């Protein structure tokens, strides 16, 4: 709640004006039964049409002023609520951006999405309803009791008994349901995760005919959520009938006692109607208060969940005055480096040591799950090594400034990821200041120039989210071009040419050799043909180094490399 209150205080003026105008509206609501009583007692009882019309006019004016107050209160409450939610969402998003991949893996993307959307929306609704009703409803409840005492003190005792009983029902149910709402929100994470996984992997699911299995898995998660929601719904549903029973019993007692006093001439019929109206107002406001409490219960549970993320520190700390430049000829050095993912059990890579000099091309090859991507993810410091040391340009990678480190390293991920927009906007992610010539040069090097020129709008041709309107090879080439626009000193291609044919792959490798400056290129690939001309090839097997050397050296000394090569080429040297 401390984070919510932090932004809530910024809207102090709105937080005062909203309940203030609601209180004004409540005052007019409390005056209506008295005006009605005057119409019955003085107007109808004494056959005074002028009084009836005058009081009816007063009621219309009071209704219009009350409506204006209600609109004004809603405006200020909405400003405070949406402003608080906006600030909280912005802070949460910025905090998530500081997370390392470790926190992303541990917390889970579906959980982060739920807390960014559903939980913050619950907080927004809670703030809005709180400002509108937290003073109005109690004021009308106790104001009605006070008004009842001004009419008849004996009958008003019914109000004095009914209100504590109603409060006990409302707050008892709130205390009962609050912890259950926390469990529901946690289960919602799993449903969101299942839906997200299905949407992102829909092509694979269809390719393997797993639709029914995925539907069953989602239905199971959804049914579990329903099983949690039903008891809470049933408990919450008790609130309305219980409060109605108490209030209606109160009305029956008022009519019974009021009828006796009216017969005895101690009370006028209009006063009895006013007392019934006051009791009805209590019923309406307590129902609103009950709904408010349910909303606040959800909002508080959601606020705690958002707070849990904001209280989670990033495991990756960058120095305030870190290294920004270095003249070392070494590009990357791994010294007995090992990496184990959080909660992942065994190490993904173990005791890796090598040196990559500026201007060299380093190839990384190995079977699926051998640790290739894990190794290159340590270079831009997406993860920190659990043992050993990774050095960038002669300095421990943990001593580098975050912005400088990310500027020096360009990475093309294993899964090509493009964003909704245009080809130009996607390329400018690499460098917002890049010129037109820089963009075309990057496309030329990435072997993407021809197909971009064929597009109706060229660089300004639209790209759908994830690049759905492009082929796999086109997406990969555009992601390579985006990295080249950045002009990094270290370029990492993490299996970035897997969707390219051999001719395009060869042309790409040839073009990369023409890159200006001493750019160090890391190429992760399953193809030995993509790595044959590398200055150094690192062969991985089960996360360990099976061999390091040139193609010729590894063909003589590394059995793992020989097996990979022989599986791709026939004995005569032709492609299998």
Fold for the domain defined by 2-183+238-310: ABC transporter transmembrane region fold (1.20.1560)
Q: Cβ distance 276 to 255 under 8 Å?
A: yes
List C-alpha distances in Å: 162 to 236, 498, 508.
20, 74, 81
Q: What pLDDT was estimated at residue 576?
A: 47
Query: Three-class SS of residue 404?
Result: helix
Q: How many CB atoms lie within 10 A of CB 412?
A: 24
DSSP category for residue 267 = S
Q: Terminal CA-to-CA distance of the chain, rounded, Å?
A: 63
Architecture of domain 330-568: 3-Layer(aba) Sandwich (3.40)
For 472-510, the DSSP string reads HHHHHHHHHHHHHHT--SEEEEESTTTTS-HHHHHHHHH
Buried b (16+ CB within 10 A) or exposed e, 132-156: bbbbbbbbbbebbbebbeebbeebb
Q: Cβ distance 525 to 367 under 8 Å?
A: no
Integer Cα distance of 239 and 229 in angstroms: 16
Copy the structure tokens of residue 320: 């305030």
Q: How far is CA 538 from the centre of its chain?
A: 39
- pLDDT tens, the chain, 576 aa long: 677 877 778 888 888 899 889 888 888 888 888 788 777 777 777 777 888 888 788 888 888 988 899 899 999 999 999 998 998 999 999 998 888 888 888 888 878 888 888 889 989 998 898 888 888 888 888 888 888 888 888 888 888 888 888 778 877 877 777 677 767 867 777 787 788 778 778 878 888 888 888 888 888 888 888 888 888 888 877 877 887 788 788 888 888 888 888 777 777 778 888 888 888 888 778 778 777 877 887 888 888 888 888 888 888 888 888 899 888 889 999 999 999 887 767 888 999 999 999 989 999 998 888 888 889 999 999 888 999 999 999 899 999 998 899 889 998 888 888 899 999 999 998 888 888 998 999 999 888 888 899 888 988 999 998 888 888 888 888 999 999 998 889 999 888 777 777 888 888 888 888 887 788 999 998 888 888 888 999 999 988 999 999 999 999 889 999 988 888 876 545 554
Q: Which residues contact 31 (CB under 8 A, 6 or more apart)?
A: 62
Q: Which residues contact 36 (CB under 8 A, 6 or more apart)?
A: 59, 270, 273, 274, 277
Q: What pLDDT was estimated at residue 396?
A: 92
Domains of the chain by residue range: 2-183+238-310, 330-568
């Amino acid at each position: 709640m401390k984070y919510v209150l932090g932004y809530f205080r910024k809207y102090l003026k709105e937080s005062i004006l909203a309940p203030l105008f609601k209180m004004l509206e409540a005052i007019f609501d409390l005056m209506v039964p008295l005006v009605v009583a005057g119409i019955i007692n003085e107007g109808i009882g004494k056959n005074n049409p002028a009084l009836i019309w005058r009081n009816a006019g007063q009621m219309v004016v009071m209704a219009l002023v009350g409506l204006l107050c209600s609109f004004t209160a809603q405006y200020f409450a909405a400003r405070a609520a949406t402003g608080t939610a906006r600030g909280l969402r912005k802070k949460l998003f910025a905090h998530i951006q500081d997370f390392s991949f470790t926190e992303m893996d541990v917390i889970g993307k579906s959980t982060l999405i739920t807390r960014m959307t559903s939980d913050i929306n619950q907080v927004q609704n809670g703030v809005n309803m709180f400002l509108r009703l937290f003073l109005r409803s109690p004021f009308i409840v106790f104001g009605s009791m006070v008004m009842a005492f001004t009419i008849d003190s004996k009958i008003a005792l019914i109000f004095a008994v009914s209100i504590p009983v109603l409060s006990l029902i409302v707050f008892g149910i709130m205390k009962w349901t609050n912890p259950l709402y926390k469990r529901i929100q946690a289960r919602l994470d799993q449903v969101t995760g299942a839906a997200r996984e299905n949407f992102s992997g829909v092509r694979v699911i269809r390719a393997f005919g797993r639709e029914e299995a995925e539907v069953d898995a989602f239905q199971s998660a959804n049914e579990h959520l329903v099983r949690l929601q039903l008891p809470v719904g049933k408990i919450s549903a008790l609130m309305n009938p219980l409060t109605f029973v108490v209030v209606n019993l109160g009305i029956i007692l008022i009519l019974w006692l009021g009828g006796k006093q009216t017969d005895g001439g101690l009370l006028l019929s209009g006063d009895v109607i006013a007392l019934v109206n006051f009791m009805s107002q209590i019923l309406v406001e307590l129902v609103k208060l009950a709904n408010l409490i349910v909303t606040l219960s959800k909002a508080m549970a959601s606020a705690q969940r958002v707070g849990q993320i904001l209280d989670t520190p990033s495991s990756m700390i960058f120095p305030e005055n870190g290294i920004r430049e270095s003249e070392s000829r070494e590009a990357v050095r791994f010294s007995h480096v090992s990496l184990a993912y959080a909660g992942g059990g065994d190490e993904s890579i173990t005791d890796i040591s090598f040196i990559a000099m500026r201007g060299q091309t380093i190839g990384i090859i190995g079977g699926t799950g051998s640790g290739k991507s894990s190794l290159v993810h340590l270079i831009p410091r997406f993860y920190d090594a659990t043992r050993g040391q990774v050095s960038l340009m002669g300095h421990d990678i943990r001593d580098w400034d975050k912005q400088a480190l990310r500027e020096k390293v360009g990475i093309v991920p294993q899964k090509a990821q493009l964003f909704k927009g245009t080809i130009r906007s996607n390329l400018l992610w690499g460098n917002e200041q890049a010129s037109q010539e820089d963009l075309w040069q990057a496309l030329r090097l990435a072997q993407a120039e021809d197909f971009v020129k064929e597009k109706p709008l060229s660089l300004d041709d639209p790209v759908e989210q994830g690049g759905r309107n492009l082929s796999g090879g086109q997406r990969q080439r555009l992601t390579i071009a985006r990295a080249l626009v950045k002009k990094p000193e270290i370029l990492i291609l993490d299996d970035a040419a897997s969707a390219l044919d051999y001719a395009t792959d060869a042309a790409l490798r040839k073009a990369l050799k023409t890159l200006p400056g001493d750019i160090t290129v890391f190429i992760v690939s399953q193809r030995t043909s993509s790595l044959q001309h590398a200055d150094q090839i690192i062969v991985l097997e089960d996360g360990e180094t099976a061999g390091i050397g040139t193609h010729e050296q590894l063909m003589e000394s590394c059995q793992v490399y020989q097996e990979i090569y022989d599986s791709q080429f026939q004995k005569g040297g032709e492609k299998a």
